[in-house]
Amino acid sequence: MALEFSPETYKKFEETVSRYPKKEAAMLPVLYLAQEEFGCLSPEAINYVAQIMGQSPARVQGVVSFYTMFNTKPIGRHHIQVCRTLSCALGGAEKITSFIKKALGIETGQTTSDGRFTLSEVECLASCGTAPMMQINDEYYENLTEEKVTEILQKLK
Amino acid sequence: MEPLLLRNINVPDSHALATYKARGGYRSWERVLQAMKPEQLIEEVKASGLRGRGGAGFPTGMKWSFVPKDSPKPRYLVCNADESEPGTFKDRLLIEKDPHAVIEGTLIAAYAIQSHIAFIYIRGELVFGAAMLDRAVTEAIQAGYIGKNIAGSGYDLDVIVHRGAGAYICGEETALLSSLEGGRGWPKVKPPFPATHGLFGCPTVVNNVETLAALPWIIERGAPAYAALGTEKSKGSKLFSVSGHISRPGVYELEMGYPFKKFLEEDCGGVPNGRKLKGVIPGGGSMPVLRSEEIEKVNLDYESIQAAGSMLGSGGVIVMDDSTCMVRAAWNIARFYAHESCGQCSPCREGCHWMEKIFRRIEQGGGEPGDLDLILNISGNIMGNTICPFGDAAAMPAAAFIKKFRDEFEAHITEKRCTVTAQ
């Protein structure tokens, strides 16, 4: 089935593109709109973006695959991303990751069977002074302890 | 010192326009519009001695002066808010707590090069920061600081907050511009430099958040006041992000030239839990690690850290105590670069993964004699052989960890286990 933006999103798309000096410069914001609307950037979503941006699907696919924040497959409702880079590692990030794996019964890169959580380990999120930390969807959670993680996960349905 | 960059961050509602204005905000912008020609502004910033705070330390006024005055093409100013250097979180603080200072600096720089569209390229993960900037831009438009014929000056300027999408390399200025052009964040060969061939081939200046946030103060107090701070070659103040094994982590503003040891021990409270300092990375994950005894006489400025064999970089200070396994630390940093290499240049694309694999096998007890020299060889073959400085940024810390802590690496290889961490 061919995907397309809702009229509201299409309006946002046109507004976004109009602000940039060239249409192609709006590629990342348009991909964000598509990801938000379609859940992930599937081949169908990429074809649609290519069409409205006047680019080849190959070019759009090339952009999508370069950036870690674009998902080509569906992910859980809550995307847990634990920072693993040096400052967080010194602060005990590995223990936090192991704790989450055990609590959710999944490995890094996997999604819980109920589709609630996906777990990723990511590189530095500019939150090194409050290590260890994780990002879940748009939110940062800092100075983590196992107790804090338990509390956070319980609240996310 | 009297805080300059952090002067607003502890005030309630520091992010709001009303707060910023009540504390003198946008007066510099009004003054620039009313009374300064772009050339005067460039001279003023040159005289201040301000250098780029993103890591390279290039003189800001000079960077602006490379933009051709007679080019018929549009010019672009880009605020680099793609803060991703391991151990660095200073720009995030400014963006979230004092977004108007970042915006006012962006406006001033845009005016200096007569740009009519400025971009703030913020890393995609900083969703809250992007929202704070968006909100502040809207406030500034409503107050008439951004838009057409600003304050009757005849000068037009639009500001676009543009989110990246997760790629460390986009902090490198030519990669950032490739990304802003809607493509993969691939660095470009320099020359030509962005000042003449930047965004869509047009004259472009890319300045770091902290660099831009210093501009309102410089215009307000004058270049001599800024140049009076710091050392001969490192003027003004600098933000330091301190993390790792330290009692009081956080962002600190220091006058350039502040003694490193005093900073860690007195300002940051030293290494906690009765441990001893083992090593410290002074300028973000890309910079060579220093042993504890090497920082004894080092001051926090460009020239002193360079003389000690490392670099000031982004001012991301990562502190490691004597419980730290340096093999593990080196592997962690090598893994970062293997993950983040953009893949354009073979030495970096292949070499970063090779170094990561070898560090990993040493750490996991499978190291072989000759592994250390092999890493040094790979590192040496990456250095200077790539389009952008990412290659050097991956090569330098790998080599430094081995050179500074070779005994520990050798023990790991012969004993096939860590001899440092208490198991």
pLDDT tens profile B383-410? 999 999 999 999 999 999 999 999 999 9
Residue A56 has pLDDT above 70, yes or no: yes
pLDDT tens profile B366-388? 999 999 999 999 999 999 999 99
Cα–Cα dist B201/B76, whole Å: 10
Q: Supply the pLDDT for residue B217.
A: 98
| Reported confidence tier of residue B336, pLDDT bands at 50, 70, 90 | very high
Instruction: Count Cα atoms within 13 angstroms, Cβ side, for B313.
Output: 34
Mutate to test the interface with B, among A88, A94, A124, A125 (most CBs of B within 10 A): A124
The set of residues, in sequence order, having a beta carbon less than 8 Å from that of A58 and lying 6+ positions away, is none
Closest alpha carbon to B236 in B112, B103, B57: B57
Output the average pLDDT for chain B. 97
pLDDT tens profile B46-98? 999 999 999 889 999 999 999 999 999 999 999 999 999 999 999 999 999 99
For A135, phi then psi, to 5°, come to -115, 130
Residue B422 has pLDDT above 60, yes or no: no
Beta bridge partners of B207: B79
All residues of chain B having their beta carbon less than 8 Å from the beta carbon of residue A87 are: 86-87, 243-244, 318
pLDDT, average across residues A6-13? 98
Beta bridge partners of A135: A81, A140
Cα–Cα dist B326/B418, whole Å: 10
Residue B411 has pLDDT above 60, yes or no: yes
- Across the interface, of B83, B184, B316, the residue whose CB is closest to A62 is B184
Is the bond leading into A74 cis (omega within 30 degrees of zero)?
no
pLDDT, average across residues B193-199? 97
Q: Supply the pLDDT for residue B423.
A: 41
* pLDDT cut 70: percent of chain B above it: 100
pLDDT, average across residues B243-271? 98
DSSP B263: I
Closest alpha carbon to B231 in B290, B310, B304: B304
Q: Supply the pLDDT for residue A2.
A: 81
Cα–Cα dist B42/B65, whole Å: 7
CB within 8 Å: B333 and A86: yes
CA distances to B231, B234, B280, B298, B328 from B295, rounded to whole Å, are 18, 18, 8, 5, 22
Q: Supply the pLDDT for residue A1.
A: 59
Mutate to test the interface with A, among B239, B332, B333, B349 (most CBs of A within 10 A): B332
Does ipTM come in above 0.90?
A: yes
pLDDT tens profile A95-130? 999 999 999 999 999 999 999 999 999 999 999 999
Amino acid symbol at B225:
A
B182 touching chain A per CB within 8 A? yes
Q: What is the pTM of this model?
A: 0.97
B200 touching chain A per CB within 8 A? yes
Q: Tokens at residue B331, please? A: 């592997």
